[in-house]
Amino acid sequence: MFVEMAPAKRVKTLLAIGSIVLCLALPARAQTDAPAPFDTDLQRLGEILGALHYLRAVCGANEGSKWRNEMQALIDAEAPSGERRRKIVASFNRGYRGFQQTYRTCTPAADLAIRRYLDEGAKIAREITARYAN
């Protein structure tokens, strides 16, 4: 049976899963400029965090910089350098700017995008943890 989670519950779940990823999978990686096997997933997660940073504010979540801070924590934990860092940061900015160009106010479509991104972000975090945790 599928039970719909309240948006606040999904946010907490995504943050909890993200924290697990940060604590278990990412710190084990040595600082290097070589691509990690999970870089594509990190870039997608960065894009999702950027989109959520914009959309949650437009939809009145009053979370301040929560999603930007989550992205910063991800970067701090992974400590990418050079091109890896640039790609991860660019993905966050792409997610933010993409929705900034489309939505000026909260709409049902924006609310749906938030729900979908919360679900997708949680899924990516779970998959990274399952595949790469020590």
94: Cα within 13 Å, side-chain hemisphere: 12
pTM given for the model:
0.76
The residues near 117 (Cβ < 8 Å, ≥ 6 apart) are: 48, 51, 52, 55
Residue-level pLDDT at 106: 96
What is the residue extent of each domain of the chain?
38-132
Specify the pLDDT at position 68.
93
- pLDDT 10s digit of each residue in the chain, 134 long? 333 445 555 555 555 555 544 444 444 445 556 788 888 999 999 999 999 999 999 999 989 899 999 999 989 988 888 899 999 999 999 999 999 999 999 999 999 999 999 999 999 989 988 888 76
